[in-house]
Structure formats: C-alpha cells, structure tokens
Amino acid sequence: MKTSVAGFSVHGLIAENRINVFGYLESCRYRYALRTADLWSGQIGTRDETVLRKVRDALDERELTLVNYHVDGVHLWEDDSDRRERNRQGALAELRAAVLLGAKTVRFDTGGKIAPMTTEQHDYLVTCYGEYCRFAHDHGFRVGAENHWGLSLVADNMETIARDVAHRAYGVLLHLGHWEDGDPEGGDKRLAPYAMHTHVDAATTYGGNLASKIQMLWEADYSGYWGIEHHSGKNEYVEIAAQLAQVQRTLAFLQSKQAENETPTEAKKTLNPLLTPEQESQA
C-alpha cells in the first residue's frame, strides 16, 4: 500500500532528543512496516556529504524508498534580493543532496506572505522552479511547491505557478485541505492534476472526508504516495500509528470497493461450501 510517514511527524521527539534520522528510518521499516521514507530536512540538519551518505546507506540497508524530501529554510521568495540568492544557493545544494539520498520528489516552499502574487514574485518563482525542474529532470526526480505557508496557501498562486512553469518535472506536494483562500475543497481539486506527493494531516484523516479526497485524487490520475503528517508534537509514536492505520484502512476499503465494482455481477455471489447450490439459492 502506497503510504509514508512525513518526517516532520516526529518533530516533538526530535526536540526532546528522543529520536534522530536513523531512529526515524528504523521506525518506518520496523515499527510501521513501511518500505518508504518521507524525510524532512530538519531531521538531517546538515548538507555535509559524509552525513548524507550515512543516511543513504541507512535507507538502502532497510530497503526504503525515499518518496519525498521536504526541505525548509530555502524558500524561494524573500523581499530582500540577497536573501533570495542565499536561499537559491541553498536550494541548489539541497537538490544535490536529494540526488545523493535518492529522493523521488522534493519540496521547496514559495515563501512570501498570504496574498496574490505580484508580477515580480510570479516571474521569480517561475524562473527558479524552472531551473530546479531542469536539474530534477536530469537526475530522475520531480520538484515543486507545497501549499504550506505564505504565497502557496492561495490556490490561484499555486495553480498559476504550476501552469506557467510548465515542466514535466514540476509537481505539487498537495497538503490536503490546507488553504487560506476560503475554498479548501476547490483548492485540492484544482491542484490535484499537478500532485506528485501528498501530506494527510489529522484534520483530513479524521474529518470525515478522507475517502472523498482519495477518490478525487484518483480521478485526477494521481498514483503517488499518501504521506501521513502529524503535527501535535505529543505521543507521536501512537498518534502516527493511529493516523497511518486510518489512512491505510480507507485506502483498502476504496480499493476493495473498486475491485467489487469491476467484478461481473454473476461472479460476485460466493457459494457457501457447507450448502448445496439449491440451499444457497434460497439463502
């Protein structure tokens, strides 16, 4: 089943020095029985190649696929041009780190504030994401924004960026339901065609619309992973397990329902081996 646990989900344990990146990988493989990792840059804390190689070795030893690498601190837009360039150089270094780690998708935030983009912001974001996409394409992965904070919380901004970057390596890390433009359902639906990865928080997991969100993305031909992201910073081991189980349960239910709908009517009725066909017909 295509699920993962976003690395930020253990930020409380990290703050208490109760887990590191290697403990997280061990938990993914053996506590949660996954074959995926969904690393947050804050878990690694360095771009030192020696450390990155150790993380890559740990991924390979556990036979884990790094389905997403979500990077903080190198967001694209800052009002100050020197800070923009500093972050751009940091992002280029993180792209090289993503190659070493074997990431399948990479997320860099847009930056900025919650508002419609200015022309200057639009042109800069489209140019930078285009540059990152060319690198990602050459190295076999995808890169893009998440509706995480700032400019990216406005669906109009996110849709415009995706449309104008117009590169096959560009994708959106769709944080389901996380919009500030008054239309969370519409935002998800509009960005679904660009989704390369997802983060499913507790509000979506337990909010009663998880199945419809999954179905909506499937109808948009999404075939990526469902990344569970927990935010409370408390009781994280058990909260992650509960959230992961709920998402997996919903996926299993929808998959079985889909398979049932594809089964010919005459093949759906299963005979009870303890009854004769005549008795079964009367049941």
104-125 burial by CB neighbour count: b if 16+ within 10 A, else e? bbbbbbbbbeeeebeeebbebb
Answer whether residue 179 shows pLDDT above 70.
yes
Query: Domain holding 22: CATH number?
Result: 3.20.20.150
Report the distance separating Cα 8 and Cα 175, nearest Å.
13
When the pLDDT of each residue in the chain is averaged and rounded to a whole number, the result is: 94
- Local structure of 228: helix, strand or coil: strand
At 225 the pLDDT is 98
Among 26-40, 106-120, 161-175, 255-269, the least confident range? 255-269
Question: Does residue 200 contact residue 226 with C-beta atoms inside 8 Å?
Answer: yes
For residue 197, the surrounding DSSP H or E stretch is strand 195-200
pTM value is: 0.91
pLDDT tens string 212-259: 999 999 999 999 999 999 999 999 999 999 999 999 999 999 999 888
Judge contact between 139 and 177, C-beta under 8 A: no
Q: Stretch 40-44: mean pLDDT, rounded?
A: 97
Q: What pLDDT shows up at residue 268?
A: 52
Q: Which amino acid is at 71?
A: V
In this prediction, residue 182 has a pLDDT band, given cuts at 50, 70 and 90, of low
Structural domains in the chain (count): 1
Q: Is the pLDDT at 261 greater than 90, yes or no?
A: no
**Cβ-contact 242, 202 below 8 angstroms:** no
Mean pLDDT, residues 254-274 taken together: 71
pLDDT band at 262 (very low <50, low <70, confident <90, very high): confident
- What proportions of the chain, in percent to the nearest 5, are helix, strand and coil? 55, 15, 30
Q: What residue numbers bound the domain in which 86 lies?
A: 3-281
**Residue 31 identity (one-letter amino acid):** R
For 103-235, where are the alpha helices, taking DSSP H only? 119-138, 155-165, 184-191, 202-206, 210-219
Average pLDDT over every residue of 69-89: 98
With vertex at residue 175, the alpha carbon angle to CA 125 and CA 164, rounded to the nearest 5 degrees, is 30
The predicted pLDDT at position 159 comes to: 97
